[in-house]
Structure 1
């Protein structure tokens, strides 16, 4: 929903999302880097081929 939409007018937080591939040897460094930019980890998914993908969110800046 665009900023200024119904959710925004009623004080609901709107979010932006990103998916990030994780490398097992550097997972903490990758997540620390995204976290320092305000991203919050929502979930880590193991893909069928064994790769890890992190789903992150942060409040949409108005």
Structure 2
């Protein structure tokens, strides 16, 4: 039987002028982008990320 991957998640606001830098930094830390949706207040979108939990 194989062990099922356990995930941890993060939700981060994205600044329009720094979106690439923000996502690159989270990617360097092992996070994978899952989705980007409009933010609740204003023009800034929100990113949802995931990565495998450390054992």
Query: Which TM-score tier does this pair reach, normalised by the shorter chain?
Result: 0.7 to 0.9
> Cα deviation per residue 1:10-54 (whole Å; 9 max; x = unaligned)?
411000001111000100000000000000000001024332110
Aligned length, in residue pairs: 54
Residues 1:53 and 2:40 are matched in the alignment: no
Greater relative contact order structure (CA < 8 Å, 6+ sep): 2
TM-score (norm 1): 0.78
Structure 1 unpaired stretches of 5+: 1-8
- Structure 1 runs, 4 residues or longer, greater than 2 Å off: 47-51
TM-score, normalised with respect to structure 2: 0.88
Q: Which structure: larger Rg?
A: 1
